[in-house]
Each structure stands twice: as C-alpha cells, then as structure tokens.
Amino acid sequence: MSDGQGRKSELHDSAYLAEYHNLRARACGTSLNAQDDAKIYTSAFKDQLETYSPLDHHGEHLVILDVGTGAGRVLVNLADHAVRENIPLTKVEFLGVDKEPAMIHRAMSAQQQARSMSQVGRIDWLVGEALHLTSSELLENHINKVDLLLFAGGSVSHLISPNEPLGFFAQAAALLRPRSGRFYLSVRNDLTSTQLSPQPTKGSTTGVDVHDQCDFPSKLYDGIVYRQLPIESSVVDGPIKTDRYLLQVVKRTDAGGEDIIEENRIETVLRVFREPELLEWFKEAGLEFVEALHTLYETYYVLKQAD
Ligand SMILES: C[S@@+](CC[C@H](N)C(=O)[O-])C[C@H]1O[C@@H](n2cnc3c(N)ncnc32)[C@H](O)[C@@H]1O
C-alpha cells in the first residue's frame, strides 16, 4: 500500500519499474523515434557487416557493444532486421551492458523470446558501469576490438557528474577497433542546449516533457497497471535537468476496484549537453568526430578512434 509519500526511485531499480520503463520506452518508440533510431543503427550495422573481413578480424567475431542496453531493445531490433534481410549472424557477437541488474534480467528474457537472437554467433550480458567498461572481466579482452559501440536512447544524459562524459568517451575510444570501429552516440535533442549563453538558465522551469496521466498495463503481472502521473516539476539548473513525478503500481481487483500497491516518487536527473563542449570532450578522449546525423528527436554523433 502507498504511504502517500512513495519511495524515491531512479526508474530502473525494481522488477515493476524495469517493466514500466520497458513499456514506456516501447510506447515512446512506437510514437516517436523508433523508426529513426532503428534506421540509423541497422544502417551502421550493415556498413560493418559489409566491410567485415575475417583476415582483419583474425577470424574473430564482428563485435557490437550496446552500453546502457536497458531491455536489449536495440540489439533485438538489429537481430530482427538481419533475419528479415537474410543476413547471416553467425560471425556476430552482441554484448549488452547495463548498470541495473533488473534491466539485464529483462534483456535476457527478451533474448529468449526473440527467435532472431538465436541466430547470433555469441551473446553476452553484463551488469556493468559505462565508466569502467575496460576493467570488467568480459571487456578487458575487447580493447581495440569493438566494431560498433552504441549508447542509445540518449542514455549519455545519465552521466551527470562533471567528469563522467569524458571518462566514458575515453573508455569508448580504448574499445573501438582502430580505423573501422564506429561509436554512435545518441543525444536527445530536448537535452541539448541551443542557447547562446554557456549554461541554461539557473532554476528555470521548462515546459518540455510535461505529459498527461498515462496508464501502461503490465504484460508480466496479472491485473497490474503502471500509472504515470503528470510531471510535478521540471527544473534546469546549470547542465542538469531534474523532473519529478509519481508512478503508481496499481492492482485491479476482481470486484472492479483498484489498489495502489506501490507508489514511486520518480526523480529523473539528466545532463543537458552543449555541442561545442561535446566536441571538445571527444577530442580529449581520443575520439575523432566523423559526422552528426540529425533526426527529429535525437542527434547521433558518429565517432572513431583518433589516429
Ligand atoms: C533510457 S534507457 C535506454 C535503454 C536502451 N539503450 C534503449 O535505447 O532502449 C537508459 C539505460 O541506461 C542505463 N544506464 C544509465 N547509466 C548507466 C551507466 N553509467 N552505466 C551503465 N548503464 C547505465 C540505465 O540503467 C537504463 O537501462
């Protein structure tokens, strides 16, 4: 039962919240950027497959590393696309990393449900931190071996401490295969400061993201509905945007009533980027900017290891 205050959550830290996040991402994806995002990543994947040479790879797999993989959405999409196009996946390795065990759990069950994923040569899931990729047991052998590195869905905005973006970009640079490896970094356009002043206005309230109440019926738990209440406050302070809203886990009873069985006070804290600062960090981290692809909702920075 709710205590009226709810528990504070960062959104991905319980089984209910993991499913809610997944349902919400899917709903957003269907209505907003899924097509853009799928088009961008499948094209990047195809480019890598077309230029794959067993000789250059010393007989090893073509490695796709999806950092902040969430429920594995992007990797499953890539596998589905390849199977639809009759592209063999036996020489491909998927690696999905997320810091939240609940998300990796969801990704593993998504793998089991997607028949296309059984065609992939090798799949590994890792509970791990974007900032410490190269010191993880699974990835320490992948220095200079990642062909396509993704940080999708604007997840880079979760790196809110001052040195985190640069720290992560340095990890990406170390992992990329020299010359041919590519890093696709997605940044949400609504989290990019286009203002001329160096910092967004302190304490300003933005109208972005304010949504109506929204119900997401669970597909995993009988009679459960996730009820997202409208955003209570949305504040930009320097490069940090904080949104607060309530997420109720509602159980529909046989008698037609509803019980609130969990109430989460959700606080999302996200980084707002300025492009000149991003470009400077890329350089400092040892990445070379190749191009930027613009869609309505996201900008994709395509990067390679600097020579
Ligand atoms: C917006 S979701 C995107 C999920 C997925 N990439 C997609 O596009 O569907 C962000 C994900 O990044 C993960 N994440 C955030 N910060 C992270 C970090 N420092 N290291 C690893 N994963 C992180 C979260 O747990 C969450 O699953």
Residue 110, ligand 1, Cβ within 6 A: no
Q: How far apart are the first and last CA of the chain?
A: 58
Predicted confidence (pLDDT) per residue in 121-179, tens digit: 999 999 999 999 999 999 999 999 999 999 999 999 999 999 999 999 999 999 999 99
Question: Could you identify the atom of ligand 1 that is nearest to the CA of residue 130?
Answer: 20
Cα–Cα distance measured from residue 183 to residue 129, given in angstroms and rounded to the nearest whole number: 17
Q: What are phi and psi of 180, to 5 degrees?
A: -90, -20
Ligand 1 centre from 69 Cα, in Å? 6
The most confident of 9-18, 167-176, 214-223, by mean pLDDT: 167-176
Cα–Cα distance measured from residue 155 to residue 164, given in angstroms and rounded to the nearest whole number: 12
Q: How confident is the model at residue 206 (pLDDT cuts 50, 70, 90)?
A: very low
**pLDDT reported for residue 210:** 40
**pLDDT reported for residue 235:** 92
Residue 188, ligand 1, Cβ within 6 A: no
Question: Could you identify the atom of ligand 1 that is nearest to the CA of residue 73?
Answer: 9
Ligand 1 centre from 209 Cα, in Å? 19
> Please, are residues 74 and 152 in contact by the beta-carbon 8 Å criterion?
yes
> Please, are residues 162 and 240 in contact by the beta-carbon 8 Å criterion?
no
Residue 47, ligand 1, Cβ within 6 A: no
pLDDT surpassing 90 at residue 183: yes
pTM of the model: 0.84
Question: Could you identify the atom of ligand 1 that is nearest to the CA of residue 66?
Answer: 6
Residue 298, ligand 1, Cβ within 6 A: no
The most confident of 14-18, 228-232, 297-301, by mean pLDDT: 297-301
Question: Could you identify the atom of ligand 1 that is nearest to the CA of residue 100?
Answer: 25
- Residue from 75, 98, 184, 297 to probe ligand 1 pocket by mutation (most atoms less than 8 Å from CB): 98
pLDDT surpassing 70 at residue 198: no
Contacts (Cβ under 8 Å, ≥6 apart) of 246: 6, 228, 229, 232, 263, 264, 265, 266
In this structure, what token pair is assigned to residue 270?
Answer: 């996200």
The rounded mean pLDDT for the chain is 87
**pLDDT reported for residue 7:** 54
Residue 102, ligand 1, Cβ within 6 A: no
By mean pLDDT, which of 1-15, 124-138, 194-208 is the weakest? 194-208
| Position with higher pLDDT, 263 vs 24 | 263
Residue 25, ligand 1, Cβ within 6 A: yes
